[in-house]
Amino acid sequence: MDGPRDGMAADMKIGGRSTTAGAAAIAEAVPDRTTGGERKSGENKAGDTYREDFNDGGDVGIEEYGGGDGDDIQASEPVIENPGGNENAIDGSAGSGGTGNGEADYTGTAKNGGVHTENIFSASGFDGLSAKKIGWGVKLNGNKQPEVSTAILDVLDKYDAAFVGNPEVPLIYLTFDLGYETGYTVPILDTLKDEGVRAAFFIDGHYLSSQPDVVNRIINDGHIAANHSLRHKSFPDLTDEELAGEILGLESVFSDATGAELSKYVRPPSGEYSERSLAVTASLGRATVFWSFAYVDYDPQQSYTADYAYDKITDNIHNGAVILLHTVKKENADVLGRVIKKARGDGYAFDTLDNLFLYITNTQNADPGGQDNVPNYT
């Protein structure tokens, strides 16, 4: 296998120490996030809004997505709350506030993973921005990039959010959302290692607390560890300070648990966002990442064949594809190697979110040469 490619360090082992102590601290702050849930109702007709209510035995989570054709409405996982969970489980001093120079001084131990977020925004700069909740979804377009309205594209551009890459370059960005474990993340990591593909894993607080060894494996294998929030709460439902706490709080406990830094990439829980939540996220110097392909793979109880998963993914690969998969599905683990080989055979290569944002922000010319970013597995 080749050595490290563009911009990759020779030694990728950046988080090798034990995460046991950190996991105990996180467990105090993060309620258990239950899985699955019974789908109470749902409709997906061409041109209609797709709305599903998921019942986890206590609270009901709701997702809404724009209309499209049949199951081509692509969504993330449902909102699943933990009834009775204590969101303020970390106790301690309130810490200090802003430094007076426009930067926050996040010291002390408080809620939000020990990060003090009260009054971190010095002015009401988000007043007037819409807080309307929007569920991210795209209409699939086969092997072409999906269709998204100009109005949505303008909002994404304004706040440096991304969902797809260069339409002229055959690059793919693999991303995975991690909220709970069913035993298939390690096989997926094994496949990525065998194929020399570097992916991004969006981790929430419950996963960090419950699966420290897997998280450490993700780091040590050279993948991007990214932010799926501390408690998996819908961003538009939160105050600005609470939203900041979900993002910065996970960064804090991640660093405590692993000794590594979480990347600045954020994926809102269930893909739910508002213009205001995008603005708050951007104001923290973090980048929102959606997706240009996903399918309903977040419920391990919903049965698919491996061939269905393979066809669903490969039939919709396109230039600049940001692929969202969930590791809870056995079928995803079973077909991932085949998908990677098929994509490469069709002329695609796999790239990283780091290079995607170089392209999007135009900070410098990203290499469009189609070579894989291969971690250095030594």
The tokens describing 113, both together, are 């993973």
Give the span between the Cα atoms of 249 and 95, in whole angstroms.
14
Residue 326 is a catalytic residue: yes
b/e map of 282-321 (b: 16 or more CB within 10 Å)? bebebbbbbbbbbbbbbbbeeebeeeebbebbeebbbbbb
Closest residue by Cα to residue 95 from 81, 83, 111 = 111
Residue 318 is a catalytic residue: no
Cα dist from 211 to 85, 181, 375, whole Å: 19, 8, 22
Residue 230: partners with Cβ closer than 8 Å, 6 or more residues away: 29, 30, 112, 113, 204, 205, 245, 246, 247, 249, 250, 253
Give the span between the Cα atoms of 267 and 349, in whole angstroms.
23
Catalytic residue selected from 116, 223, 232, 326: 326
Q: How many residues does the chain have?
A: 378
Catalytic residue selected from 177, 221, 334, 351: 177
The tokens describing 331, both together, are 């079928």
Annotated catalytic residues are: 177, 326
